[in-house]
Amino acid sequence: NAGVTQTPKFQVLKTGQSMTLQCAQDMNHNSMYWYRQDPGMGLRLIYYSASEGTTDKGEVPNGYNVSRLNKREFSLRLESAAPSQTSVYFCATQTSGSSYEQYFGPGTRLTVT
């Protein structure tokens, strides 16, 4: 039972390059999330998916796109990376029903030069 997994763990991109961050869960949760975490800024929600087939913007969606491929997988795409997107990215899932507990993947450290 792996919980929430993310790939890759580390990535260095040049400005303007694109990449996709992958997230998968085996917790059978409906809701999935992408956050970024920057020093002094805390966790900021980029996009979320309340259920398979739906996605919604969070606080900081500009420069990102997402795909909810199926119940298990939720990917985050940077079409044209910018240095401001240097951050640690976390995927999370949320328990179904009324408990609202979120569980995080190990994170992807992205540097854009």
Partner 1 sequence: QKEVEQNSGPLSVPEGAIASLNCTYSDRGSQSFFWYRQYSGKSPELIMFIYSNGDKEDGRFTAQLNKASQYVSLLIRDSQPSDSATYLCAVKLEGRDYKLSFGAGTTVTVRA
Residues 26, 29, 34, 38, CA torsion sign: negative
3-state class (DSSP) for residue 109: strand
For residue 13 the two structure tokens come to 């991109």
3-state class (DSSP) for residue 50: coil
Out of 7, 31, 55, 67, point to the residue binding partner 1 (CB under 8 A): 31
Q: Is 34 in the site for partner 1 (CB under 8 A)?
A: no
Binding mask 43-82 for partner 1 (x = CB under 8 A): x-x--x-x-----x-x------------------------
Q: Is 10 in the site for partner 1 (CB under 8 A)?
A: no
